[in-house]
Amino acid sequence: MATQKPRTDAQRRAANTPDRPVALLVVIFTVEAGRLQVLLIRRSAPPHRDAWSLPGGLLAEGQSLVDAATRRLEIETGVRDVFLEQLYTFSALDERDSVAVAYWALVDKGSVQLAHRDEWQPDWHHVDDLPKLAFKNTTVVEYASTRLRNKLAYSNVAYSLLPPEFSLSQLQQSYEAILGRALDKRNFRKRITSLGIVEATGRYESEGRHRPAQLYRFLERRPVVV
């Protein structure tokens, strides 16, 4: 994959021509049942009718990338004010040699309301068991998954996957789903508490037949480098 120099919004809009259109893609991740999932859309029109692809579309004239990504995220999930960041600018993902600017987002599945419509139906898919995707979107999902795993090591981005209050077990399950491996419970809790990104709320929640679990919250529900 060739490295490309970042473009300004103005440059991208200027390049948005019929011969080389600029598309926007949004990779939306969540965690459920211990697995990392991504939101896909089943296409109802050509090209690639009935294939799955990432949410997105062509950038409208005069529309900024971040506004377009925020709007697409809200349309598909009903949420905003979550983690959303520009990922990469891809080229040659389709037959038109279009430029695709990708964003990625993290959402708490419990707060999501997927768009209801007769066409272009959205659904969650496990990242490690994806169907064949249109427009080489598998490449985009893999790139975003790698970025997420790397970013987890030096930031608090997991806040966007969890409700305002959560147990450390829930937090660990999110990390394990993203990393794809089990973590030692004692070491995980020691590291998380030492980073100073969460604090105990003083409240407890019952987790099945086990003793009540102490609830925590993130000190900042916005991206912070640690």
**Statement: residue 224 has pLDDT above 90:** yes
- Name which of 155, 124, 156 is nearest 141 in CA terms: 124
Q: Per CATH, which fold does 9-152 belong to?
A: Nucleoside Triphosphate Pyrophosphohydrolase (3.90.79)
- Name which of 64, 60, 58, 57 is nearest 8 in CA terms: 64
Q: Answer for the pair 61, 13: CB distance below 8 angstroms, yes or no.
A: yes
Of 50-54, 65-69, 114-118, 214-218, the poorest mean pLDDT is in 114-118
- In the chain, domain spans: 9-152, 157-218
> What is the tens place of the pLDDT at every residue in 157-205?
999 999 999 999 999 999 999 999 999 999 999 999 999 999 999 999 8
- pLDDT value, residue 157: 97
Task: Please name the residue that has the structure tokens 């692809």.
Answer: 53
**Statement: residue 209 has pLDDT above 90:** no
Average pLDDT value for the chain: 89
In angstroms, rounded to a whole number, what is the distance separating the alpha carbons of residues 97 and 17? 11
**Lookup: tokens for 82:** 């979550």
Quickly state the pLDDT bin for 6 (edges 50, 70, 90).
very low
Q: Give the residue-averaged pLDDT of 84-108.
A: 89
Q: Give the residue-averaged pLDDT of 130-148.
A: 96
**Statement: residue 41 has pLDDT above 90:** yes
> What is the tens place of the pLDDT at every residue in 15-26?
444 456 789 999
In angstroms, rounded to a whole number, what is the distance separating the alpha carbons of residues 179 and 145? 9
Q: In what order do the strands lie in the sheet with 213-218?
A: 166-167, 213-218, 198-205
**Statement: residue 5 has pLDDT above 70:** no
Q: Do 9-152 and 157-218 share a fold?
A: no
- Which amino acid type is present at position 2? A
Residue 20 φ/ψ, nearest 5 degrees:
-145, 75
In angstroms, rounded to a whole number, what is the distance separating the alpha carbons of residues 64 and 170? 36
State pTM to two decimals. 0.88
157-218 has CATH 1.10.10.10 classification:
yes
